[in-house]
Structure 1
Amino acid sequence: MIDLDETDRRILRQLQRTGRLSNAELSEAVALSPSACHRRVARLEQAGIIGGYVALLDRAALGRRATVFVEITLAGQTVEALDSFEAAVMRIPEVLECHLTAGGADYLLKIVVEDSEDFARLHRQHLSRLPGVSQMQSSFALKRVRETTELPL
């Protein structure tokens, strides 16, 4: 890991908010010359701090209005059981996030679907067939209060 100074943090904040800034726009926003800004961004990319650039899509505009959180408990926690479950989850495109957790459940999934009927389809076709599952509990989000991709710097 590299040490980040305040200029690096300003660059990262700007890129988190608007990843499509040109180098000229970014350098102006962070008060650096374009060449110095470019060198810093390249260094942050090479260090793995900037892992890539993406377009954030509007779920509602794409008909994916429902977010469902699913807690999953496995029958066992052998390496093979965990690997098998994780490989199967990776093949379900509606699963945006999958976290191995400590506590009551083994995994927490964040899923986006059109509505409850679409979730029922997903459950029947995919979730109910996940290997090693002994228990599953689903919760529909009623309202998105806060959602961000920005990490605090």
Structure 2
Amino acid sequence: MVDTVTLDDINLRLLDVLQTQARLTSAQVSEHLGLSQSACLERWRRLEKQGVIRRYRTDIDVDRVASNIRVFCEVSLDPDRPEALRPLIADCMAVPEVVSIYRNDGPYHLLVSVVCRNVRHYHDLTDALIARNPAILRFSGHVVLHRIKVFQGYPLGLLTGKTLPPVTPAPLQTTQAPLRLDGLHLKILTTLQTEGRLSNLALAERVALSPSPCLERVKRLEQHGYIAQYVTEIDLERCLPHLYVMAEVSLGNHGIEEFRRFEAAMASFPEIISSYKIAGPFDYTMDIICRDWDHFRALEQRLAALCPALCGLRVAEVKQRLKHFAGFPLPMLTQPG
């Protein structure tokens, strides 16, 4: 049982600001909250100590770094062999291409997110995984075609019924000029993926650079769009009642205008925290955070009203995140072969 933490309005606002601006300074956050810097820092550190703030990570555009294939794999096990679940999870945890794992209550047991160099790499990896785990009955993959909605934070106001001041993240300045990545760029990106607030001095030591050229490289990675944003991971289990749902969507009409209408509708729902266009029997997959099932059903009805082409929605409730995003295996993705 997870110990819960009660959040007051100031802590909610602090978390709301940090969700997609994890590298803000305490002075910047305290100015936004109207608190002294010391009071802001005290609250910030307490949320870290309580586990409400799990960690800080960097959202990178992996498609800019290397050619890759990303697949969401639905895994079902033999119901007569429940003891096989634990070794399967341990196996997946040890595979660097498996970047996250979710245990779901629905039409499948696990959702495993896999990132590989190419189709052959994916084929070899999954064949080996299935061979090592004979209790797998079904291993169905949905290839990601395009990320439609980037994580923009949990809808903390909707989850608590409170009105929070709008937060507009400062956009990173980007340029279309080419940037040739080298080994040091890859080391920086690999490190920052799961340590988004690492100081420049610590990062420079980690990648064996002096601080000044290290900072220059980070700035260039931001400017060229390899770094999209810095994210603060909030452990909702510790602080807010919620329902986490993964939903797969089918549209009855595949006209380009229907796709555009549906994607615009998804963008308007803060409860839809991320979405992807996928290949296969479904057209999209969405991650949705709601207060409860009543909230979700109301969202479903509003979405259907906005998009008459919506003809199917398959839902799985996320019961547990077994492997939080572990970072893309960038050295593996960029190596030849």
TM range (shorter): 0.7 to 0.9
The aligned residue for residue 282 of structure 2 is 105
- The 2-side partners of 1:45 and 1:13 are apart by 14
Which residue, out of 307, 310, 314, partners 1:137? 314
Q: Which amino acid aligns with 1:41?
A: V
In the other structure, the counterpart of 1:79 is: 256
Q: In the aligned structure 1, how far is the partner of 2:294 from the partner of 2:280?
A: 30
Aligned to 2:238: 61
Alignment deviations for residues 78-115 of structure 1 (CA, whole Å, 9 cap, x no partner): 11111111111111111112222221111111112233
Q: Which residue of 2 aligns with 1:44?
A: 221
Distance 2:239 2:296 in 1: 16
The DSSP-based 3-state class of the residue aligned with 2:282 is: coil
1:64: how far off? 5.1
Contact kept, 8 Å, 1:64 with 1:112, in 2: the verdict is no
Cα drift, residue 70 of structure 1: 1.1
For 2:22, the equivalent position in structure 1 comes to: none
Match in the other structure for 1:10: 187
Separation (CA, whole Å) in 1 of partners of 2:239 and 2:294: 16
1:43-97 deviation per Cα after TM superposition (whole angstroms, max 9, x unaligned): 2222221122222222223425432111111120111111111111111111112
Number of aligned residue pairs: 152
Gaps of 5+ in 1: none
* Partner amino acid, structure 2, of 1:113: C
- 8 Å contact from structure 2 (residues 265, 303) kept in 1: no
Matched letter for residue 225 of structure 2? G
Q: Which residue is 1:91 aligned to?
A: 268
CA distance in 2, matches of 1:52, 1:13: 15
Give the TM-score taking structure 1 as reference length. Answer: 0.85
Could you tell me which amino acid in structure 1 is paired with residue 240 of structure 2? G
CA distance, structure 1, for counterparts of residue 208 and residue 271 of structure 2: 41
Which digits, 9 at most, give the CA deviation of each residue in 1:120-143, with x for residues without a partner? 34334x334340211222111232
> What TM-score does the superposition give when structure 2 sets the normalisation length?
0.41
Q: Secondary structure at the match of 1:32?
A: coil
Counterpart residue identity of residue 129, structure 1: A
Q: Give the match's secondary structure for 1:103.
A: coil
For residues 61 and 128 of structure 1, the distance between their equivalents in structure 2, rounded to whole angstroms, comes to 32
Q: CA RMSD in A?
A: 2.1
Q: Percent identity, aligned pairs only?
A: 36
The structure carrying a bigger strand percent of its residues is 2
Query: Taking structure 1 as reference, are residues 115 and 87 closer, same or farther at Cα in structure 2, changes over 3 Å only?
Result: same
* Counterpart amino acid of residue 13 in structure 1: T
User: Using a 3 Å threshold, how does the CA distance of structure 1 residues 127 and 55 change in structure 2: closer, same or farther?
Assistant: same
Unaligned runs of 5+ in 2: 1-63, 65-178, 331-337
Deviates more, 1:21-30 or 1:81-90: 21-30
